[in-house]
């Protein structure tokens, strides 16, 4: 028969054999998912400055969380050599946040570009052909649309899930947001193949 010590080792191995795959599966369930797309014809080297706009369909969040998000985004964008630029920026970055599953409305107006409800601004206009798609932004997600300010065209779009966790303690919340933003913006500027 097995020695008692060996028996405990075998028992531990059997337990770990089941536990490790379950832990890996749980990690996948809680992992942040990143999706992005971009205009393959855009010259991303010409973009040096940016400014922020809130999507009209975005939810409002508390001021401390908004400041944490802003600081994390600005830090990551600085790594790509983009700088805040005010009204004359090369890029306009439009953000949409979702704490619960939110409808995301992506409309297109052939005269002005994507979006809805922004008059003759970044998201539509009165002239041209209109079309609209509606999708769902998962709870805790952030969507970014980057527009070429001069051409008024969408050049890059990204969505990261499981970014904002309501009720999380502040340190954990900030760490989670920072990690999600790093994952999202590692895809900007897009790599040419």
Q: Going by DSSP bridges, is the β-strand pair 102-109/130-137 parallel, antiparallel, or unpaired?
A: antiparallel
Question: For residues 76 and 113, which has the higher predicted lDDT (pLDDT)?
Answer: 76
Chain centroid to CA 115: 17
Q: Which residues, in sequence order, are bridge partners of residue 72?
A: none
- Give me the residue spans of the domains in the chain: 1-30, 33-185
pTM for this entry: 0.68
Among 61-75, 101-115, 151-165, the least confident range: 101-115
Q: Strand 102-109: give its sheet, edge to edge.
A: 113-114, 102-109, 130-137
Per residue in 12-30, pLDDT (tens digit) is 445 555 444 434 333 334 4
Q: What is the pLDDT of residue 52?
A: 94
Per residue in 54-86, pLDDT (tens digit) is 988 888 888 988 899 999 999 999 999 999 999
The widest CA-to-CA distance across the chain, in whole angstroms, is 85
131-143: average pLDDT:
67
> So what CATH class is 33-185?
alpha beta
pLDDT at residue 95 tops 70:
yes
CB 104 within 8 A of CB 94: no
């Amino acid at each position: 028969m097995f020695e008692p010590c060996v028996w405990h080792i075998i028992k531990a191995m059997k337990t770990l054999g089941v536990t490790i795959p379950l832990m890996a599966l749980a990690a996948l369930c809680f992992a942040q998912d990143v999706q992005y797309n971009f205009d393959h014809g855009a010259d991303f080297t010409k973009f040096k400055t940016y400014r922020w706009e809130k999507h009209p369909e975005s939810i409002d969040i508390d001021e401390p969380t908004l400041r944490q998000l802003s600081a994390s985004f600005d830090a990551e964008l600085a790594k790509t050599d983009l700088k805040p630029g005010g009204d004359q920026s090369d890029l306009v970055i439009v953000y949409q946040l979702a704490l619960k599953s939110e409808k995301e409305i992506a409309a297109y107006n052939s005269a002005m570009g994507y979006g809805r409800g922004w008059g003759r601004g970044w998201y539509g206009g009165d002239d041209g052909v209109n079309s609209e798609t509606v999708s769902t932004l998962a709870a805790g997600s952030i969507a970014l649309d980057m527009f070429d300010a001069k051409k008024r065209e969408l050049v890059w779009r990204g969505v990261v899930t499981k970014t904002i966790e309501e009720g999380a303690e502040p340190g954990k919340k900030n760490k989670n947001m920072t990690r999600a933003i790093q994952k999202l913006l590692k895809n900007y500027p897009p790599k040419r193949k």
